[in-house]
Amino acid sequence: MTANAATIDLIKEFEGFRSSTYKDAAGVLTIGYGTTAAASVGIIPAHGMTITEPEAAEYLHRAVDKFADQIKIAITQPCNENEFGAFVSLAYNIGPGAFRKSSVLRHFNNGDKAKAAASFEMWNKAGGKVLAGLVRRRKAEKALFLRPAVRLDGTTPRKSPVQSTTLQASAVQIASGAGAGIAAIGGLSGAAQVVALVFAGVIVLAALWIAKERLRKWVSGDR
């Protein structure tokens, strides 16, 4: 899984582009879109250094990809692209190590998304002080986390397995197979009845297998 465009836009908005080096709220030399030496993406900010916006965007993408790889192995529950994007933005700001130890991740992995969302707002301090910029950023990350992920076809993930058209079709197929079996018992005899029953059984078994696979994918996050 990679960070989506909404993630990049959020990070750019709150980091802001700076063409020359500056010290962040923690006193660390920074450049571009919040890039520091600790990111290890090919640049070490130094006093007097300058950078172009395209260069800054490239270092940002490198850092985002790197942090995404570092945190995704710690996520044990199915995660949609907006949830993951909010995690990446938080990790970009506080560091992958701090994210892996955070209550945000712990609550998410425990299956409590409400507590995970609320925990974003705890990370609002730098140097022991609450900063208005971090308060706004955590609210934006929380909002992204809670935003329904949109599929490539413009639809949103289903909230219940019964909304799956695959499962609906399987139910119809099972009902049709059962109906064919009942009809075979009542209206046919001998070898014809056996053939019809076998055919109906195959239909039902195939539908059950399809339904099982769809439910498995649902559990893994494909909705």
Amino acid at 76: T
Q: Which contiguous run of DSSP H or E holds residue 55?
A: helix 53-72
Active site residues: 15
In the structure encoding, which two tokens stand for residue 223, read together?
A: 């909705």
Please compute, for residue 109, the number of CA atoms within 13 A of its CA located in the half-sphere on the CB side. Answer: 15
Task: List phi, psi (to 5°) of 200.
Answer: -65, -40
Count of CB atoms situated within 10 Å of the CB of 128: 5
Burial class (CB in 10 A: 0-12, 13-18, 19+), 61: middle
* Calpha distance 54→32 (Å, rounded): 9
